[in-house]
Structure 1
Amino acid sequence: MINGETPNGIYYHIRERNFTILQGENSLDFLNRITTNMIQKKTDGELNFTLLCGASGRIEDSLEIIFSEEGVIIIGLSTNGDEIRQKLVQGKNWNERINVLNGDDPLTFLTIFGEQLTEIAKSFNLEMSQDETNSWFERDSKLIRYNNTLPTSIDLILQTESLSNFFDSEVEKSLKISSINTWNKFCIDNSILQYNEIKSSPLPFECGLGHLIDPNKGCYPGQEIHARIESRGKQTKFITKFVANTQLQSGKYRSEDGKKIIITTVSIIEDKTYGIAILPTHFQGKHEIRINDNILTKLYIKSF
């Protein structure tokens, strides 16, 4: 039992996301000037993930790119969509005709998760199969994606103005709003990054996103820093999951030997804390560490 919720329930969580829609013939070229890897136009709903970094090489946002009839939809983790759009505009040449539209208010991203999602999937005409995992489909003015998580989940992007009608429909009436504690546990179990993991502006290699750096791509903000780190093996931090037999909050801690530990996301169940943390590489390969939380607390380390 988690905060009074039954583990077998079906829950939804409205996720904080920023949305930008690009319209114009050169939208893809424009986007590829500033991202850390090359975005390919895909019409089958296949996923495109990339990063937006600053000159220091540190992450400013983690982006998902979807190609739709409306244009190129950019979904970011950052809570400051206006700031991200301003950075996107910096990659625009003076003679390009590209519309950069704010989708923060018009669009909502929500995730449904729990056991027995078959009826929910049927209401979206969605076949829950391995072949469709992580691909977006357009259904009745919604973007829908089935995820092979534990428990299974369905992502939806829909117009914000249609939310009330969505929850009034027969099947969706059974959905319960998730507590942040339950949602965090779901993300921890499935190694899903949230804004918590990037809001301190880590380097991509420090939070499990190094695979989104293409060393063969041309110039982009932060490229020189990334190349230097890769060539010299200078990574100093890594991301991990942990369990502690006491209640902890997210925040900054010190290890027993004085190293800085950042706990980014936690879920507290009874007297245990499940969480995600960014640790110095000094601890890589260790199964447990001790941190100072008034008393010494042991973290049992699990791979991310």
Structure 2
Amino acid sequence: MSRTKAFKEQLDEHGAKWSEWRAVEVVGDFGDPDTEYHAVRGEGLGLADHSWRETLVVTGSDAVPWLQGLVTSDLFQLAEEGSGQITTAVNQVGRLIAEARVLHMPEMLVLDLEPGVLEAGLLSHLRRHIITEDVTLVDRSEQTARVSLYGEQAAELLDRVCDTEHRVTSLEEFAGTWGAMGDEDVVIQRVPLTGGPGFDVSCASEAADRVWRTLIDANDAVTPVGFDTLETLRIEAGVPRFGKELTEERIPLEAGLDHAISFNKGCYLGQEIIARLDTRGTPARLLRTLVLGEGAAPRVGADIEREGKVVGQVVSSVWSPRLQKPIALGYVKRNHNEVGTDVEVEARPASVEALGYALASTSAKV
């Protein structure tokens, strides 16, 4: 990650309170998490710094067919430039190595990843599988900054301040476009992190402060939003994050990542295990939303119990402004993870619900 001094000073001017995620520096909040939350869920716009995410560029005449054999999604569906998808890389036994957002740019594939994923094993894993193929892997994390805009009017604002190949308002989930924001080159990808409209704007690291300023100045409703608020929004939306709900112990099907898996494509590493699980029916456990009736958010790692037996563990938790209740994401064992099942967390009644329950259960603005 490379955040310039000018950009960090700009974030500090907005009241950035610094924290850490996966050994990198992030803005925890900007002093008023409640305002940040309502800017995204309400009628405003939220602007976040995601410069700490990693960027891997894959090029070469064999890039697509080669990577097709190493990820769970069908990259052949990305024939059109600007198309995108979410995918995962798994090992021989189907366990996660990485989760990535993929974007087909002219003459390249761009992978957007959580920090530390490349060094922790993904890059070496991919390099081991280049034999004679014409494939080049370039880690562009240090040269790339990324800011994200969330809210119902985000696409319209980006179309107003950017001149891009495709209109931002036309982008489907994970699709993208590229062009200019004033004098700065940008790449924009639609990313459903919060359960509502959201767009990552990538640029050169040295341009981040100017891109941020352009977006802040473009609309009085734009509010800086920190990592902690985005976690609340993400957990409400039931979107798993690599490094939290997604770890090397998990299989994509357990985390509800069916949309990142093709069950019809040819062979890929780990396919046998995933196909076997799909054929048998439900995995041994599933990631679910847990809704508690009262009190504070439960402790991460707390047992999920039913009839005196441990049937799962809490992986992440927050107080949900949407529901005005504590909620959590947790893996719950088979025969206990049906939607509507009553369980206990920290001796408190809780209900097992589908991922994204907090948003699906109410359409009211907050």
With normalisation by structure 1, the TM-score equals: 0.85
Counterpart secondary structure, 1:64: strand
Match of 2:16 in 1: none
1:246 aligns with 2:287: no
Rounded to whole Å, the distance in 2 between the matches of 1:50 and 1:253 is: 30
Match of 1:75 in 2: 112
Q: After TM superposition, which residue ranges in structure 1, 4 or more long, deviate above 4 angstroms? A: 125-128, 146-151
Once the two structures are superposed, the pairs formed by residues 168-183 of structure 1 within 5 Å of their partners are 168-169=213-214, 170-171=217-218, 175-183=222-230
Match of 1:300 in 2: 351
Rounded to whole Å, the distance in 2 between the matches of 1:128 and 1:301 is: 36
Q: 1:12 to 1:168 in 2, by over 3 A?
A: closer
1:138 aligns with 2:174: no
Q: Is the 8 A contact 1:167 1:173 kept in 2?
A: no
Rounded to whole Å, the distance in 1 between the matches of 2:196 and 2:279 is: 39
1:164 aligns with 2:209: yes
| Alignment gaps of 5+ in structure 2 | 1-31, 356-366
Q: 2:319 aligns with which of 261, 268, 273?
A: 268
Q: 1:92 aligns with which of 130, 146, 149?
A: 130
Which letter maps to 1:241?
Answer: T
Match of 2:250 in 1: 202
Which letter maps to 1:123?
Answer: V
Which letter maps to 1:54?
Answer: N
Q: 1:158 to 1:81 in 2, by over 3 A?
A: same
Counterpart secondary structure, 1:168: helix
Match of 2:45 in 1: 10
Q: Is the 8 A contact 2:94 2:273 kept in 1?
A: yes
Q: 1:277 aligns with which of 298, 314, 330?
A: 330
1:104 aligns with 2:134: no
* More deviation, 136-145/3-12: 3-12
Q: Percent identity?
A: 15
Which letter maps to 1:191?
Answer: G
Q: Could you say what the CA RMSD is over the residues aligned between the two structures, in angstroms?
A: 2.8
Q: 1:292 to 1:208 in 2, by over 3 A?
A: closer
Q: 1:105 to 1:172 in 2, by over 3 A?
A: farther
Which letter maps to 1:177?
Answer: P
Q: CA deviation at 1:208?
A: 0.6
- Per-residue CA distance 1:196-243 (angstroms, 9 max, x = gap): 221253111100113433344343222221232233336111122232
Q: 1:216 to 1:286 in 2, by over 3 A?
A: closer
Q: 1:110 to 1:291 in 2, by over 3 A?
A: farther
Q: 1:303 to 1:292 in 2, by over 3 A?
A: closer
Number of matched pairs: 299
Q: Is the 8 A contact 1:133 1:147 kept in 2?
A: no
* More deviation, 26-35/173-182: 173-182
Q: 1:239 to 1:78 in 2, by over 3 A?
A: farther
Once the two structures are superposed, the pairs formed by residues 222-237 of structure 1 within 5 Å of their partners are 222-233=270-281, 235-237=283-285
Q: 1:45 to 1:97 in 2, by over 3 A?
A: closer
Rounded to whole Å, the distance in 2 between the matches of 1:147 and 1:20 is: 17
Q: CA deviation at 1:173?
A: 8.2
